[in-house]
Amino acid sequence: MPIVKVIEVISSSDKSFDDAVKNAVKEASKTVSNIDSVYVKDFKCHVKGDEIISYGVICKISFRVER
């Protein structure tokens, strides 16, 4: 039976929520192998005046632990 570990990461993008999630996976994959899934726990935007200037996500990334 595989062991699965979950880490929580925060990521952002100036383009979109989708891009923020992709950034989370891209950065996590630099130090974590065997990523299986991403659960987006929360979304938020930073606003300046009447414009959204960045999109943020809190993600739980699941990966299989090698024995």
Please report the sign of the dihedral spanned by the C-alpha atoms of residue 6, residue 28, residue 64, residue 3: negative
Q: Which domain holds residue 30?
A: 3-65
Per-residue HEC secondary structure of 2-52 comes to: CEEEEEEEEEEECCCHHHHHHHHHHHHCCCCCCEEEEEEEEEEEEEECCEE
The model's pTM:
0.89
Closest CA to 33 of 9, 11, 62, 2: 62
Q: pLDDT tens, 5-62?
A: 999 999 999 999 999 999 999 999 999 999 999 999 999 999 999 999 999 999 999 9
Number of domains into which the chain is organized: 1
pLDDT band at 67 (very low <50, low <70, confident <90, very high): confident
Give the CATH number, domain containing residue 51.
3.30.1660.10
Quote the pLDDT of residue 66. 83
